[in-house]
Amino acid sequence: MPMKRVYPDYFSRFQCVADRCRHNCCVGWEIDISPAALRKYDGMRGEMGERLRASIARDENGAHFILDENERCPLLNQNGLCDLITVAGEKALCQICRDHPRFRTQLTDREEIGLGLCCEEACRLILNWNQPVQLIVEDDGRSKAVLGKREQARLFQRERLLSVAQDRRMSIFDRMGRIMEADENAELPDLPFEKWVNVLLTLEHMDKSWTILLKKRQNSRAFAAVDDRTQEQLLVYFLYRHYLRNQKQYPRGVTAFCVLSTQLITLLCEKPEDIYEVARLYSAEIEYSDENLDAIMGSLHEYNGGR
């Protein structure tokens, strides 16, 4: 369906580093296969068809690739490249593999697209972006769809919050305070840093490096001086990604989540250069786990009087 397409200005600069990636997204994640891709794989001939079908587990919830004992996708070769792409091209990939690390949010008249921080290359690109991020809107003019009043109001409010987040006349600390005020005086629970670390430790964990990092930071008093520009890019990333898509479920928690995520990532760094790895891990462990995202955003929603 023709519609508007929105994306941050850095988006088209992204390029997967494939075999040079240290945290390949084909390792450690269970990759679901859409029904359309499954039909394609079931009909694929030759050696790759056989291999594909032997690599897929099916149950009542759908189908996914069976990871090997090292949690690697069975199609990922030792050079860090995907054998399916080599044999059949990118078109043969299932939706998740084709999209990753891109995320999408659908509104009535537009699709918003972005890059997820859980990908180390996207993370580098986002956090190293110097200028205030601009959102590019492409409109082919063929869509008749219009935003509803509520969507318009949320979009307008997000624009306000983004412009405060990018107002470089203020310190990032002040900008975060203004953003919380602008969202009906949302607040964060007044917990010391080590208590927040304890909260993160109670959540579901996937990568043991995350647990190691949290335990290490539990008792450390060394904090990195992460510059305002980097924190701004984090804050803008979280607002762009989460504000609209989580408004319905957690209207009183989503802004607080964006501010808290920026603060926690910053505080979890011992040295400024830790920011890339900490942001990548936070994203993979919190943003990409529905359970963890719901736990944090849900508690902030309730804390701010939401029901």
255 binds ligand SF4 (CB under 6 A): no
- Binding segment (CB under 6 A) for ligand SF4, from list 13-21, 36-44, 213-221, 234-242: 13-21
Q: How far is the CB of 33 from ligand SF4 (least distance, A)?
A: 17
Among positions 4, 21, 135, 203, the unique one binding ligand SF4 when judged by CB under 6 A: 21
48 binds ligand SF4 (CB under 6 A): no
25 binds ligand SF4 (CB under 6 A): yes
- Binding segment (CB under 6 A) for ligand SF4, from list 23-31, 48-56, 217-225, 288-296: 23-31
Residue for token digits 């539990």?
Answer: 218
262 binds ligand SF4 (CB under 6 A): no
Pair 234, 244: CB distance under 8 Å: no
13 binds ligand SF4 (CB under 6 A): no
Q: How far is the CB of 217 from ligand SF4 (least distance, A)?
A: 24
Taking the C-alpha atoms of residue 115 and residue 112, their distance in angstroms, rounded to an integer, is: 11
Among positions 6, 8, 10, 24, the unique one binding ligand SF4 when judged by CB under 6 A: 24
Residue 54's alpha-carbon distances to 49, 50, 251, in angstroms, are 9, 6, 44
Pair 307, 195: CB distance under 8 Å: no
Pair 52, 84: CB distance under 8 Å: yes
Environment class of residue 299 by beta-carbon count within 10 Å: exposed (0-12), middle (13-18) or buried (19+)? middle
Residue 9's alpha-carbon distances to 114, 220, 258, in angstroms, are 10, 37, 20
285 binds ligand SF4 (CB under 6 A): no
Angle at 266 between CA 161 and CA 126, to 5 degrees: 65
Q: Binding-site residue total for ligand SF4 (CB under 6 A)?
A: 12
Nearer to ligand SF4, 75 or 172 (CB): 75
Nearer to ligand SF4, 24 or 255 (CB): 24
For residue 221, the surrounding DSSP H or E stretch is none
Q: How far is the CB of 284 from ligand SF4 (least distance, A)?
A: 10
191 binds ligand SF4 (CB under 6 A): no
Site string for ligand SF4, 94-123 (x = CB under 6 A): ------xx-----------------xxx--
Residue 8's alpha-carbon distances to 13, 31, 54, 165, 211, in angstroms, are 10, 26, 39, 15, 32
Binding residues (CB under 6 A) for ligand SF4: these are: 16-18, 21, 23-25, 100-101, 119-121
